[in-house]
Structure 1
Amino acid sequence: MPSAIVTGATGITGSAIVHHLLKDGSYDKIYSFSRGNPGYKDPKVQHVTLDLQSSAQDMAKSFEGVSAEYIFFCAYLASEDQDELSRVNEALLYNFLGALELNGSARKIKRFILTCGFKQYGVHIGPGKQPLLEDDPLLENDAGGVSWPPIFYYPQQRVLANAAKKGGWEWVATLPEDVLGYARGNFMNEATALGLYCAVSKALPGSELPFIGSKANYFTFNCWTSANLHAKFCLWAATAQGAGNQIFNVMNGDTESFQNLWPRMAARFGCRIPDPMFPNGGTPDTKGFKGYESSTIRFKNKPPLKVSASALGLSTDSVSNDSPTLFLQVDPEKWAKREDVNKAWATLRERYNLDQHAWDKATWNFLTMTLGRDWSCVGSMSKARKLGWTGYADTWNELEETFEILESEGVLPPLNQLKRDF
Structure 2
Amino acid sequence: MSTPRKALVAGAHGIIGRTLTDHLRGLGGWDVVGLSRRGGPGSLAVDLLDSADTSAKLADHRDATHLFYAAYQDRPTWAELVPPNVAMLENLVDALDGSALEHVSLMQGYKVYGAHLGPFKTPARESDAGHLPPEFNVDQQALLERRAPSWSAIRPSVVGGTTLGNPMNLALVIAVYASITKELGLPLRFPGKPGAYDSLLEMTDAGLLAEATVWAATSTRNEAFNIANGDLFRWSELWPKLAAYFELDTAPPLPMSLTTVMADKGPLWSELAAEYGLKPGYDQVSAWPFGDFVFSWDYDVFADTSKSRRAGFHSYVDTERMFYRLFDDFRRDKIIP
The answer to whether TM tops 0.5 is yes
Alignment counterpart, residue 160 of structure 2, candidates 174, 180, 185 = 180
Q: Deviations over 1:275-312 (max 9, x none)?
A: xx14xxxxxxxxxx4xxxxxxxxxxxxxxxxxxxxxxx
| Contact preservation (8 Å) 1:333, 1:364 | yes
Q: Secondary structure at the match of 1:179?
A: strand
Q: For the residues of structure 2 that align with 1:184 and 1:374, how far apart are their CA atoms? A: 27
User: Does residue 252 of the first structure (1) align with residue 224 of the second (2)?
Assistant: no
* 1:289-368 correspondence runs (5 A): 289=254, 329-338=255-264, 341-342=265-266, 344-355=268-279, 357-359=281-283, 362-368=286-292
* 1:17-28 correspondence runs (5 A): 17-27=20-30
Q: For the residues of structure 2 that align with 1:388 and 1:360, how far apart are their CA atoms? A: 38
Q: For the residues of structure 2 that align with 1:11 and 1:360, how far apart are their CA atoms? A: 13
Shift of 1:74: 0.8
Structure 2 portions without partners, runs of 5+: none
Alignment counterpart, residue 118 of structure 1, candidates 110, 121, 130 = 110
| Amino acid corresponding to residue 138 of structure 2 in structure 1 | Y
Q: Secondary structure at the match of 2:171?
A: helix
Alignment counterpart, residue 155 of structure 1, candidates 139, 142, 165 = 139
Shift of 1:342: 4.9
Structure 1 portions without partners, runs of 5+: 41-46, 141-148, 279-288, 290-328, 414-422
Report the equivalent of 1:14: 17
| Contact preservation (8 Å) 1:10, 1:38 | no
| Amino acid corresponding to residue 17 of structure 2 in structure 1 | G
Q: For the residues of structure 2 that align with 1:333 and 1:184, how far apart are their CA atoms? A: 18
Whichever of the two has the greater Rg, that structure is 1
* 1:193-212 correspondence runs (5 A): 193-205=173-185, 207-212=186-191
* 1:121-136 correspondence runs (5 A): 121-136=113-128
Kindly, what percent of the aligned residue pairs are identical? Answer: 31
Q: 1:342 to 1:16 in 2, by over 3 A?
A: closer
Q: For the residues of structure 2 that align with 1:161 and 1:371, how far apart are their CA atoms? A: 34
| Contact preservation (8 Å) 1:134, 1:248 | yes
Q: For the residues of structure 1 that align with 2:124 and 2:282, how far apart are their CA atoms? A: 33
Alignment counterpart, residue 30 of structure 1, candidates 26, 29, 32 = 32
Alignment counterpart, residue 225 of structure 1, candidates 204, 226, 239 = 204
Q: For the residues of structure 1 that align with 2:187 and 2:325, how far apart are their CA atoms? A: 23
Shift of 1:112: 1.0
Q: Secondary structure at the match of 1:133?
A: coil
Shift of 1:360: 6.0
User: Does residue 97 of the first structure (1) align with residue 96 of the second (2)?
Assistant: no
Report the equivalent of 1:303: none
Q: For the residues of structure 2 that align with 1:378 and 1:131, how far apart are their CA atoms? A: 6
Alignment counterpart, residue 240 of structure 2, candidates 257, 263, 266 = 263
Q: For the residues of structure 2 that align with 1:182 and 1:265, how far apart are their CA atoms? A: 17
Shift of 1:359: 4.1
Q: For the residues of structure 2 that align with 1:342 and 1:170, how far apart are their CA atoms? A: 47
Q: Deviations over 1:188-224 (max 9, x none)?
A: 411111111001111113x311111123211111110
Q: 1:218 to 1:184 in 2, by over 3 A?
A: closer
Q: For the residues of structure 2 that align with 1:35 and 1:360, how far apart are their CA atoms? A: 17
Q: For the residues of structure 1 that align with 2:260 and 2:12, how far apart are their CA atoms? A: 33
Shift of 1:129: 0.8
| Contact preservation (8 Å) 2:157, 2:302 | no
| Contact preservation (8 Å) 1:187, 1:358 | no
Q: For the residues of structure 1 that align with 2:284 and 2:92, how far apart are their CA atoms? A: 32
Report the equivalent of 1:314: none
| Contact preservation (8 Å) 2:10, 2:70 | yes
CA RMSD of aligned residues (A): 1.7
Alignment counterpart, residue 56 of structure 2, candidates 54, 61, 75 = 61
Report the equivalent of 1:297: none
Q: 1:236 to 1:157 in 2, by over 3 A?
A: same
Shift of 1:355: 4.2
Shift of 1:81: 2.0
| Contact preservation (8 Å) 1:7, 1:74 | yes
| Amino acid corresponding to residue 129 of structure 1 in structure 2 | K
User: TM-score scaled to structure 1, two decimals?
Assistant: 0.75
Q: Deviations over 1:256-283 (max 9, x none)?
A: 1112221111100011112xx14xxxxx
Q: For the residues of structure 1 that align with 2:285 and 2:176, how far apart are their CA atoms? A: 11
Q: 1:185 to 1:333 in 2, by over 3 A?
A: closer
Shift of 1:407: 2.1
Shift of 1:343: 5.3
Q: For the residues of structure 1 that align with 2:86 and 2:25, how far apart are their CA atoms? A: 29
User: TM-score scaled to structure 2, two decimals?
Assistant: 0.94
Report the equivalent of 2:171: 191
Shift of 1:187: 5.1
| Contact preservation (8 Å) 2:23, 2:211 | yes
Instruction: Give the aligned length.
Output: 333
| Amino acid corresponding to residue 32 of structure 2 in structure 1 | I
Q: 1:336 to 1:360 in 2, by over 3 A?
A: farther
| Amino acid corresponding to residue 156 of structure 1 in structure 2 | Q
Q: Secondary structure at the match of 1:65?
A: helix
